[in-house]
Structure 1
Amino acid sequence: MRLSRLSRTTLAIVAGAILVIVYVPLGVVLVNSFSTSTSLSWPPPGFTLEWWQRAFQSAGAMEAVGTSVFVAIIATAIALVLGTLISFALQRFDFFGRHTVNLLVILPIALPGIITGIALNNFFRTIMGVPLSIWTVVIAHATFCIVTVFNNVIARLRRTGTKLEEASADLGAGVWTTFRLVTFPQLRSALLAGGLLAFALSFDEIIVTTFTAGSGVTTLPIFILNNMFRPNQAPIVSVIAVVLVLVSIIPIWLAQRLSGDEQQRR
């Protein structure tokens, strides 16, 4: 499809405007993390590394980072197992209600976070009678992390088909041998990409976390929210926000590279 010069110019302007709206505020946060002003006045009166040093020496911030990493790792592990199993069930088997199950699996990522948070809060406290803790946060994060793994794995299964697995079975290989030598190597990059995306999604989630975390559980996004308007904490929050952006970008970039490399090999 060929676009006219006017269409290309219009698309370029719109795309440029969207990128400016998204990334200029992030640039302001980055600059403010080096500002000498405690109230984030603009333009910055001076530049300093003091806030970066204080942020990495903050016991609360470091504890929040550890909590976020722990929750993201466990939620990602659960999502990898369940998301992969669901992908195989929906792609390799035909049964009544398969399309409905497919919709229900994908639905958590489409629902507003506040709806998911309220529903899970009611489920844990009212139906199950379970006190909110770090494990309720893990379960809550796993519900939407499963979707990213599921989407990556089922897309790979649709592309690869079953011919190599059938050939392996014809040659006498068992189910686990076929999975280890044939199926898993084909899914490896999809699993890694899905896992990285799930980790990034869990690490910076705040809405669902707010509704499912106990009083003693503080993830990094909650730490930022709690300290944003405290006196002299704004520059430290800016530092943590910059670190959070970097931590979120790296898994997404790696996932894109893995997907691109896989497509090139094919």
Structure 2
Amino acid sequence: MTISAGLRRTLLAFTALVLAVVYVPLGLVVLNSFNTSNSFGWPPEGLTTKWWSLAAHSSGARDALLVSVEVALLATGVALVLGTMAAMALQHTRFFGRNVVSLLIILPIALPGIVTGLALNNAFKSMFGLELGLFTVVVAHATFCIVTVFNNVQARLRRGGGSLEEASMDLGAGTFTTFRLVTFPMMRSALLAGALLSFGLSFDEIVVTTFTTSGQFQTLPLWIFNNLFRPNQAPVVNVVAAALVLFSIVPIYLAQRLSGDTSETMTR
């Protein structure tokens, strides 16, 4: 299909506009983290690393970051196990109500976060009598992280069909051997994508977390929200946000490389 020069320029201009809308605000966050003024006047009067030093010595930000990483890792681990099992079960079996089960698995990510948070808060406190903390936040985050893993794995299994697995079992391989040598390598890039999405969703979630955590247990998004409007804390919040923007480049780059390597291996 040949694209005219006018259409090509229009598409390039639209792409540049979209990228500007996404990345210009992020660039301003990074720039303001070096701004000498804590009021963030524009243009900046000067640049300084003072705020980075203060952020590095902020015990509140550091503790909240560790909590967010711990919650995201645990929720991602739960999502990988349950999401993969659910996708494989629905892909390899046929039963009455199969589509309803699939809808129920996907539904949590479509619900408004405030509805999910309120429902889980009532369930944890009224039905089970649980104290809100790490466990309740991990369970709450896993409810919507499972969806990302489930969708990625199910799409990969449907694309691959079942011919390779059937051939493996016809040649004498057992269920677990077939999973280890055929199914799992076929799903690796889908699992990686699902894990990254799950980690990202869990790491920056704030609405559901607000309803399922106690006041003493604070993730990084909650810490940012609670400190954003406090006197002299806005520069530190900007530094934390800028650091997250910069550090997020590394896992995304690694994921692209690993996904590319997996695709090349499967092609060969």
Structure 2 length normalisation: TM-score? 0.91
Superposition deviation, residue 36 in structure 1:
1.0
Q: Is the alpha carbon distance of 1:151 and 1:260 closer, same or farther for their aligned partners in structure 2, counting shifts above 3 Å?
A: farther
Of 197-206 and 181-190, the range deviating more from structure 2: 181-190
Hey, what does 2:30 align to over in structure 1?
A: 30
Hey, what does 2:167 align to over in structure 1?
A: 167
Q: Does 1:214 align with 2:202?
A: no
Hey, what does 2:199 align to over in structure 1?
A: 199
Structure 1 length normalisation: TM-score? 0.91
Hey, what does 2:51 align to over in structure 1?
A: 51
Q: Distance in 2 between matches of 1:254 and 1:19?
A: 22
State the secondary structure of the residue aligned to 1:124.
helix
Superposition deviation, residue 253 in structure 1:
4.4
Q: Deviations over 1:206-264 (max 9, x none)?
A: 12111111111111111111111111111110010112223444444444444455455
Q: Is the alpha carbon distance of 1:142 and 1:60 closer, same or farther for their aligned partners in structure 2, counting shifts above 3 Å?
A: same
Q: Distance in 2 between matches of 1:264 and 1:180?
A: 19
Conserved in 1, the CA contact under 8 Å of 2:205 and 2:221? Answer: yes
Q: Distance in 2 between matches of 1:146 and 1:249?
A: 24
Of 211-220 and 159-168, the range deviating more from structure 2: 159-168
State how 1:186-265 maps to structure 2 within 5 Å.
186-263=186-263
Aligned residues: 266
State how 1:118-137 maps to structure 2 within 5 Å.
118-137=118-137
Q: Specify every segment of 5 or more residues in structure 2 that has no aligned partner in the other structure, as ranges.
A: none
Q: Percent identity among equivalent residues?
A: 62
Hey, what does 2:108 align to over in structure 1?
A: 108
Q: Distance in 1 between matches of 2:249 and 2:123?
A: 32
Q: Distance in 2 between matches of 1:182 and 1:3?
A: 41
Q: Distance in 2 between matches of 1:248 and 1:105?
A: 28
Q: Which amino acid aligns with 2:167?
A: A
Superposition deviation, residue 130 in structure 1:
1.8
Superposition deviation, residue 78 in structure 1:
0.1
Superposition deviation, residue 52 in structure 1:
0.9
RMSD: 2.0
Conserved in 2, the CA contact under 8 Å of 1:196 and 1:254? Answer: no
Q: Does 1:93 align with 2:93?
A: yes
Conserved in 2, the CA contact under 8 Å of 1:197 and 1:252? Answer: no
Of 55-64 and 106-115, the range deviating more from structure 2: 106-115
Q: Is the alpha carbon distance of 1:219 and 1:174 closer, same or farther for their aligned partners in structure 2, counting shifts above 3 Å?
A: same
Superposition deviation, residue 119 in structure 1:
2.0
Conserved in 2, the CA contact under 8 Å of 1:200 and 1:247? Answer: no
Hey, what does 1:145 align to over in structure 2?
A: 145
Q: Specify every segment of 5 or more residues in structure 1 that has no aligned partner in the other structure, as ranges.
A: none
Conserved in 1, the CA contact under 8 Å of 2:79 and 2:149? Answer: yes
Q: Distance in 2 between matches of 1:212 and 1:34?
A: 35
Superposition deviation, residue 163 in structure 1:
2.1
Q: Distance in 2 between matches of 1:116 and 1:251?
A: 29
Hey, what does 2:185 align to over in structure 1?
A: 185
Q: Is the alpha carbon distance of 1:197 and 1:254 closer, same or farther for their aligned partners in structure 2, counting shifts above 3 Å?
A: farther
Q: Which amino acid aligns with 1:34?
A: F
